[in-house]
Amino acid sequence: KAGVTQTPRYLIKTRGQQVTLSCSPISGHRSVSWYQQTPGQGLQFLFEYFSETQRNKGNFPGRFSGRQFSNSRSEMNVSTLELGDSALYLCASSFQAENTEAFFGQGTRLTVV
């Protein structure tokens, strides 16, 4: 069974640009969550999607957005990039049943210059 796949693995963008990251969950998983990991703030929850609907959202500005498609694949978008957006962005998928765990992708390393 394939794991969670995130593309691309690495990105370098300029301040003010926008970026789209992609996540393909494990087959059969309908819940996809996104996290930002930085040395200063650690792992922070961005949002969660289930059946194409955002169910939960973390405390991030509106520049951060996401969506989920009917095949459960998800994208997140960051507009008007700032230097502080440089981070490892992790996607996790889960089956969304009681007591199930989340499986993480390898992440996308975004560097804003």
The number of residues making up the chain comes to 113
Residue 94 backbone phi and psi in degrees, to 5: -150, 160
Is the backbone peptide bond immediately before 8 cis, with ω within 30 degrees of 0? Answer: yes
Query: Which of 25, 35, 36, 72 touches another protein (CB under 8 A)?
Result: 35
End-to-end CA distance of the chain: 37
Residue range at the interface with another protein (CB under 8 A); choices 13-21, 66-74, 75-83, 104-112 = 104-112
Kindly state the smallest distance separating residue 99's Cβ from another protein, in Å: 4
- Closer Cβ to another protein, 6 or 72, answer by number: 6
> Residue 54's closest CA among 73, 36, 32?
32
Query: Which of 53, 62, 101, 113 touches another protein (CB under 8 A)?
Result: 101
CB 21 within 8 A of CB 10: no
Where is 43: in which H helix or E strand? strand 42-50
15 is a site residue for another protein (CB under 8 A): no
Query: Which of 55, 61, 71, 80 touches another protein (CB under 8 A)?
Result: 55
Residue numbers at the binding site for another protein (CB under 8 A): 4, 6, 31, 33, 35, 42-43, 45, 48, 50, 55-56, 58, 90, 92, 94, 96, 98-99, 101-107
